[in-house]
Every structure is written in C-alpha cells, then in structure tokens.
Structure 1
C-alpha cells in the first residue's frame, strides 16, 4: 500500500525517489569509501586476517541492514534509528542513536572530503576538502532528485574504475593467490579492530533509511533498496579486496597510502594509476554527497523534536529539502575537513555508527511478528557484534567517541531538567 505523500502539509519532505534512486544513493554511500579510505588501515590492524575481518564486518552489516529495513518499513520517516529508538525503546535511546549518528557521520563526511583532497591535490588536501564540502552542500540544497542524478553518474564511474583494477590485478604477472591465505598473526583483537574499521565502508545503507520521507511506497522501497545496495557492495568489495591482496599482500597493503593505485603499478600497468586516482576522488565525492544528505535528515528529525535547535527543522518551500539543516551540517563538516586527520576520522566515525546500529538492533528486537519482526537471532547478533567491534577500535577512537556520547547524554539530561523547571 502506498504511503500518502506528506508534501501536502507544511514542513514536510516530498516523495520523489524510486527503488532505483534509493539503491543508487546507498551505493554512492558505500561503493569506494572502504576501498579507498579504510582498506589500508584495516590491513595494518588485521594483517593476514583481513579477509576474516571483512567477513565479520559483512555479517554485522547484514544484521544491521535487516533490522533497519524492518524498522524503516514500519516507520517511514526521516531520522532512521533516531525515530526507531524513540518509538520502541524510549526518548533517550532515540536521542542517543541520533546523536551518535550525527557525530559519527559528520566525521565520515570529513574523512571522505579529505580523501578527495589527498587524491586530487595532496599538497593542498585540506583546501580541496573544504571546497568539495561547499560544492556538494550546494548540490544537496538544490533538491534530492538532483543529488540522486549526480550520484548515478558517480557510481557508474567508480564501478568502471574498480572493474579495470580487478582485471589488471587478476591477470598480471605479480598475482599470487598465496596472499589470500587467512592467518592469525595480528591476533583476535587485531582482526576485530580491522572489522570495526571496515564497517565504516558498509554503513552507507543508513542513508536509505534516513530518506524514509522522500521515497515512494516506503514499506516496499526501503527494505528492497537496503538489501540490494548492501548485496552489491559486499560482492564488489570482496572482489576488489581479493584482487589487491593478490598483488600487494597483507604487508604491502598495510603500508600503502593509495592501495589500488599501488596495486596496478605492481601489476605492471602504471598508466592506469592516474585513472585510479580520479576514480578514488569521484568515489569519495559520491560518499560525501550521500553522507551530507543523510546527516541533514537526522538533524531535521532531531530539530523537529527540539533535541537540536528548532530553527533547523525548516523545509524549503520550493526544493522540499531541510535547507537549514543541510547548511548547518555543511558548515560543520567544512570546518572539520579543513583541520582533521583522515584515519582518526574513520575510527571516530565507526564508533559512533556502531553505537547507532546497536540501538537499531535493540529496537528491532521489540517488533512483534505482525509488525514484521526479523528472526530473533538477527538483532541479538547485530547488537552484540556492534558493541564488540565498537570497543575493539583503536583506543583513541573509543575514548573520543565515548566522550562525545557522554557530552550528548549530559546535554539531554540538562534539557530535561530545564524543561521540568
């Protein structure tokens, strides 16, 4: 059954997006982000256990996606787990999920912007990152349909580049299948830490759930788009990781700052390296575009409930986008991108997003069978997996992430006290 279009009322978003549009936005958030930004630090943490770490990240992502899809079909509104946690667990847990998402994904935005800068102009990476954030914020301001069309083009370019990398690596003389052997040189903690870092790459389907107010027939579209986007991404990442490992090995991958470009050079096709650099920049732009889109929608939902300044709840009367929330998010991300470190941003982001999905899985546990509850084992494994991976991340990421959550919880408590007074 189609959900009525909420654009008839003031302050609501408009249902523009089809299943294909939603899948493309999810792919734009995931395809490329992990391959170009998280694969090398994950290899440094996991060593020869990298493939096992990827399998763990995929398993947790699958649980999270299943829980999120069932909840999104039940509550097709902007905000994602902020809405689900509030409806199923209580106001505080919804707020905590929303806060974790906003801070985590703001860090993701900065990481993607810095990835653009490091590939386009390494000596001026922060300046390029700043310009990229400003430009894509302007694209999002012009309407979600324009953003979806740009994301389609970005995804097509990135998939073509990745296909070329795979072909070169698997047919080159430097290919060694022995590099695919799974070892335990990094220990169990190293594998878990690598899985937590790789999870950064698989979390893009959250953007589909946060667009619950902008897709047509959300009860059908959201679950289908989430499962399709995640499935495609899993296959692409597995094939690319295997290809790069076959050429560089775990050690070479761990020490690489541009692993896909280094892989094609090692395979004897150096001429392809500049193309890979362009593909990396385009991939990061696609992720950044969709990230800003998702963070602004959760900001909108929290502002509607006055957990964030209510002025951010405005929806543009012509473009039907949360324009003030998008401008606020873009401004914060631009400032961070001008000063932050990309690897630290990835760890901090993973911590916040894993906490967010722990709340999503806990919320899915409370669904009844009539409400579309997933198999009980799914939210149990999802919650446990998120928490284990979150606290296995580098200690600096855990400490800064926990401090940010504590600040958010304190702000929530202070607001409640002031409201009673």
Structure 2
C-alpha cells in the first residue's frame, strides 16, 4: 500500500497555490460581513487580521522548514509537543476549512447563478474540483495558476473602471453618514453606536475584533502551502519563502480592492451588499459581468486549494491512526483521493444546510484555534531551528484566542460542541485499541 506523496512543486507553484487559496475568499466573501461589524473601521480590522496572519505565517514557515511533511500543524504539534495537541490542531483545521469550502462554493454560486440554482451549482463545483485535485497535485497547481492570473487581470480592470467612473470618494472611507452607491445612508449616532442600518457609526472595539476574525478567514490560505510539505521540492527553503511571498501579495491586493470598494459604496453600502464588487462598478453591464466572472474564478481557485489542503491534513491524520487507514491510501495519481472525496461529501452537506456568513464565522473559529496551536508549537522550537523571534508567537497566540472567541457566539458554541464530540470519539477509539 502506497502512503507516500511525491515532490513535484517548485517555489512558483507553491506561491500560486497559496494565492489561489487566499485571493477570492476575502475580496468576494468577507468584506461585506466585516463592514457590517466594523463600519468605517473596517481597515483597522483588516490590518489586525493581516497582523495575526503574519504571526501565524512566520510560525508555520518556521515549523514547515523543520518538518517537511503533509499535515501542517497537526504533524508539527504531534512531533514537537504531543500527539494530543496535534489531534486538536488537526481537527480544528479540518472542521474550520471544511466550513470554508462550503462558504467558497456558495460564494461562487452566488456570483455565477441565479437564485434557485445556486445550491446545485455549488455542489457541482465541489465535485468537479475534487475530481481535478484527485488527478494530481501538478494539475491542481497548473489550473490554479491560470485562475490566479485571470483573477488578477480582472481585478486590475475593476480598479481601472473605479478610477475612471468618478464615483470614488476618499470621504466615504471614514464618514459613517456616507451614502453608498447602493443608496444606503448611515444614520447619525454616538461613538460605537449604529444608525438604522445597524452598521456602527463610530469606533466599536468588539465590532473591529469581529471584523478582524471574519477577515482572517481570507488570509488563512497560506496554510495550504504548509500542508503540501511532502510534495514541495527543497521544502526547507521553498515553504518559508512561498508563505511570506503569498501573504505579502495577498495583503496588498486586499488593501487596494477594499479601499476601492469602500470609496464607492461607503461603509453602509458595502455592509448591505451581497455582491459588493459588482455593485461598486455601477450600472455598466460589461463591467458587472466581468466582475462576476472574476469572482467565480477566484472562488474556484480557493476551492482547489482548500480541497487539496484539507484532504492532505486528514490523510496525514488517517496515516497515523489504526482506525482510519482506508483514508490513508495514495491513488495511482499520487494524491490522497479518498480523503479528498470525504471532505467533498461533508462540504456538500454544509452547502445544503448553511449560508455564507454562518460558514465564514464557523470557519474562522476552527482555524484560529488551529493557529493558536501553531504558535504554541513554534514557541517550543530550539534556538537553532528558529527563524523569527518568540515574541511573534506570543502575540500570535493572544490574538488568535481573542479573535476566536469574539468572531460570533454561534460559531463559538457550535465549534466547542464539535470539538468535544470529536474528542470523545477519538478517545473512545483509542481506548478500544
């Protein structure tokens, strides 16, 4: 039985997979719910999310250089700290990212299909991209490269349309009463209060933290690079460089697009929009169509990376367990196809049961728990293995825990219950031997 993956990815491949996993999630899915929580202070939430992502990325890069294997923090914590902590991290990743997969499939369908056809299209996309992933990681990287180039080109056109349209206003970036292109008006209120729209008119610390937690959902794609540790050439050098490059490019793209959208729609218009980038280009039919194509492609790129990353994490967990060996086999194409199709099946169930905003909150909770363990694990590395100061890991743990437990009450409750149930099942299986 073959249980080893082959090394076929270079630096550019790894960066592209990271970009494909991140670009799309935040731009097309997370900006609106984040604006609903933070209002004009959305950019502070974005900066905080980027800071958390940087702390986590440096910890992931440092660990991936020492442990170039599949599984990400599950494998790192298992080897560095304890098998129990590794299991908590692994399940946090699988739970959170499976919810991300459902959210991305639903976002793709929202841009690509009319109401009534969105859930069937989301299910079809999940199945199709899982098949692509199962045929080989090189095919995943090649398809993701095409998608990322197309999306960046479309976003460039989007920014040109915004600049030439005359609707952009710097005052809309911070004025709570700004009238957005959608026609929404924020009402007056005290600092931290909200108008009739429900969007905060001033600084609201809890709202900023919740926005940061939502936007962090968009940055977590760099983990896909770490989970490919067993398939990257020269992983000790390639993975750390790819993670930092992908995160830096994505942060720049997010900031520029967020400024453009907020400058046209205003905080209220952005918060109330279901398709904010399409709304920002106004009534131009060709520009709206182009944005929708870009959104659909970006979400497909994110789905490719998500299915690949989750499948490999579950594959690594199954390989270390006597009870899940069925999912620890590598197909003739060199992929953990059984694990990937299991992820696909669970994501389909979530698509049929949930909605985008709930899935984003739930995903953020699980992934922030995962990264708090990443930082704890990196903190324990010896001096010769360290690439970054321990202070970054301390800051990373604190911020991950704070954001995880403020993202939404529903996400915290459901996430805690799922962790408890899965933990009980794992312990029961271990006792039975």
Asked if these proteins are the same fold (TM beyond 0.5), I'd say yes
Aligned to 1:213: 230
Contact (CA 8 Å) 1:168, 1:269: kept in 2 or not?
Answer: no
Q: Displacement, 1:285?
A: 0.5
2:328 corresponds to? 313
Aligned mate of 1:237, from 254, 261, 265: 254
| Kept in 1: contact 2:323–2:429 (CA 8 A) | no
- The structure with more helix, counted as a fraction of residues: 1
Q: Describe the superposition over 1:228-286 as per-residue Cα deviations: whole angstroms up to 9, x where unpaired.
A: 00000000000000011111111110000000000001xx6443001101111111010
Residue 239 (structure 2) aligns with: 222
The DSSP-based 3-state class of the residue aligned with 2:281 is: helix
- Cα deviation for residue 334 of structure 1 reads 2.2
Counterpart mapping for 1:9-408 below 5 A = 10-123=2-115, 124-181=117-174, 185=202, 187-265=204-282, 269-306=284-321, 309-316=324-331, 318-408=332-422
Query: Which deviates further from its counterpart, 88-97 or 184-193?
Result: 184-193
Note the C-alpha offset of 1:186.
5.0
Partner Cα separation in structure 1 for residue 114 and residue 303 of structure 2: 18
SS of residue in 2 equivalent to 1:379: helix
**Per-residue deviation at 1:307?**
7.4
Conservation of the 8 A alpha-carbon contact between 1:51 and 1:182: no
Distance 1:133 1:271 in 2: 28
Deviations 1:364-384 (A, max 9, x none): 000111112520111000011
Pair 1:86–1:245, CA change in 2 (3 A): same
Q: Distance in 1 between matches of 2:310 and 2:388?
A: 26
Matches of 1:213 and 1:96, distance apart in 2: 21
How high is the TM-score relative to the length of structure 1?
0.94
Q: Which residue of 2 aligns with 1:4?
A: none
Aligned equivalents of 2:114, 2:405: Cα separation in 1: 32
Cα pair 2:108 2:300 within 8 Å, conserved: yes
CA gap 1:276/1:188 in 2 versus in 1, 3 angstroms: same
CA distance in 1, matches of 2:419, 2:40: 33
Shift of 1:403: 1.2
d(CA) in 2 for partners of 1:271, 1:284? 20
Cα distance in 2 for residues equivalent to 1:153 and 1:333: 25
Q: CA deviation at 1:10?
A: 3.4
Answer with 157-166 or 13-22: which moved more.
157-166
Distance of 1:164 and 1:237 partners within structure 2: 15
SS at 1:13's partner residue? Answer: coil
Q: Which range moves more in the overlay, 394-403 or 291-300?
A: 394-403
SS state at 1:392 partner: coil
Task: Work out the CA distance in 1 between the residues paired with 2:265 and 2:323.
Answer: 46
Unaligned runs of 5+ in 2: 177-191, 193-201
Question: What TM-score comes out, normalization by structure 2 length?
Answer: 0.92
SS in 2 for 1:319: coil
Whole-angstrom CA distance in 2 between matches of 1:36 and 1:308? 39
Once superposed, which parts of structure 1, at least 4 consecutive aligned residues long, lie more than 4 Å away?
A: none
Displacement of 1:83 after TM fit? 0.7
Give, in whole Å, the separation in 2 of the partners of 1:338 and 1:350.
20
**Post-superposition shift, 1:405?**
1.3
Query: What residue number does 2:423 align with?
Result: 409
Q: CA RMSD in A?
A: 1.4
- Unpaired runs of at least 5, structure 1: 1-8
